[in-house]
Amino acid sequence: MDQGIPYLQALDALRQGDCGEPPALADKQGLLDAHHPDYRPGSRVPLAIGANRGEQCPLALARLLQSNSQVDDADLAGAPVVNTDVLVIGAGGAGCAAAITAAEQGVRVLLATKLRSGDSNTVMAEGGIQAAVGDDDSLQQHFEDTLRTGHFCADRTLVARLAESGPETIRWLISQGMLFDLAEGGPMGGKLLRKKPGGASRARILSYRDYTGLEMMRVLREAVELEPRITLWNRCPLVELLSDENGQCVGAVLYNLERHGFILVRASRVILATGGAGRLHLNDFPTSNHYGATADGLVLAYRIGARLRELDSFQYHPTGLAWPSHLLGGLISEAARSAGAWLVNGEGQRFIDELQPRDVVAAAILRECAEGRGIERDGLAGVFLDTPGLERRFPGLLRQRLVSLCHLAARSNINPTREPLLVRPTLHYQNGGVGIDEYGATTVPGLYCAGEVSGGIHGRNRMMGNALLEIITFGRRAGAHAASTAESKPAPKVGLFHLYDWQRQLTLAGLPVDVRGPLLFPPYGNFDLRADASLRGTATGQRHAALPGNPETAP
């Protein structure tokens, strides 16, 4: 960990001095090249197999992308088989939006999730959702801001669909019962409160306090529970996709964590909404991600033949908690900086415009720490998020609008109106992912992706608020398209056909076949799928696996 100016000395500098204006940023790309983790020498390797062969990928992710399957044909002998029209995997915001939309078209939907419905990064999204609803804003401005912030690497068609969907997405969420902060006029007639996110030319963030994702997930979970055409299976993670002889995705292998057994689900269409990869702790960074974010969807989509994009680009959120150590990486929303909180180094000076794009702000913080202007406390280095200064300029704002920040400060035994928080970048978001078209369809027939597992929307850097917009926009688009194209009869031949070619590629490339993926849980979870399956009393535990919620299949 970088060392810097002692905490008490830095605190005195903050209290006594004028923080001044941040210096102009002369060389943005030079800052990123020198200090952003994505550009760190030796952190990436070229992939040896698969659709992205030869492209650079972070070491930990490359190991999983080039892993062998957790199951084979023998493991699945005797496993129960379930048929559905549309299978949605992952019950965060994108998965729930996809399931609701598909079910509204009259098809049968099975929604399976690794943990419980809502246990996802969606509930941890604090800052808000973007939508061009202001009189001074436009869909074109939103489109251009998103492209520019993503370094012009995003798919322009996907960005256009994202931007143009904003107002309708907000109307849909409000119709579902979601609450938003109002600027004036009270709850019956007020206008939506808008804030400016980093990298944007207009104020277009809409939020509910600083726990917008939690509020969004509340209404989505309720909608899922009230929809009779949706069957929800909790604690049933995805362990492999099913294919037919033509390479089409025709279902998935799930694992019942409570019954220690495999379940085969045959489906005409499969939608992956499995989230990101934060719990791989790339470049040894802490993460703000939930416990199940282990790149499962990326691994399995790649194995069945889907093409990925920007797989070497990840977002390190500028303001993860840097102290105390037991809360390292906990997220402090960009809503704080959007509201006017300053970033201040150990010399008591602002060093970057706080509303620059996230990758630039993160790199600037890492530069301050690397060059000795960071702040050291108990061996941990960061910079100050000057919440006392924010409170002085806007009395009462912390308590009224930054509720989650105050809760995190209380867990740190800090009064944020009197003492600043020590922050440092935390691994936050997977900028790239599985390539999709405007309907969420991948390059593999029958397979869709929505949410953080998908790629092409954000380019090489994501703007605050576009993630919550993305999961609803493309979750709904994927659900609608999957439902409209689903066939009523399951595929006649369903199996692990794609694994034969995959294992041949592993052997020819000299890669180990005993490395298995997906992980399902981070390494420190000490979970071994094959060992867990053996608890059922057979070699793999599959033979008497009960289907969730169906007592007739219980042993």
- Cis amide linkage into residue 518, ω under 30° from 0: yes
Going by C-alpha positions, the residue among 141, 134, 129, 136 that lies closest to residue 205 is: 129
Q: Positive or negative CA dihedral for 157, 163, 167, 173?
A: positive
516 is catalytic: no
Give 320-351 as a DSSP string: EE-SSGGGTT-B--THHHHTTPPEE-TTS-B-
- Cis amide linkage into residue 512, ω under 30° from 0: no
Rounded Cα–Cα distance for residues 124 and 214 (Å): 7
| Residue of 194, 309, 337, 358 marked active site | 358
| Residues 177 and 183: beta-carbon distance below 8 Å | no
| Structure letter (DSSP) for residue 441 | B
| Residues 334 and 205: beta-carbon distance below 8 Å | no
Rounded Cα–Cα distance for residues 520 and 529 (Å): 8
Question: In Å, what is the CA distance from 163 to each residue of 15, 143, 153, 465?
Answer: 42, 6, 16, 11
Give 296-323 as a DSSP string: HHHHHHHHHTPPEESTT-EEEEEEEE-S
Cβ contacts of 131 within 8 Å, gap of 6 or more: 142, 166, 167, 169, 170, 204, 206, 469
Rounded Cα–Cα distance for residues 354 and 197 (Å): 10
Tokens describing residue 491: 């595929």
Rounded Cα–Cα distance for residues 464 and 462 (Å): 7
Rounded Cα–Cα distance for residues 75 and 362 (Å): 45
Helix (H) or strand (E) holding 407: helix 403-411
Rounded Cα–Cα distance for residues 530 and 247 (Å): 26
The residue type at 62: A
| Residues 522 and 233: beta-carbon distance below 8 Å | no
Helix (H/G/I), strand (E/B), else coil: 88:
strand
Q: Any idea which residues carry the catalytic annotation?
A: 358
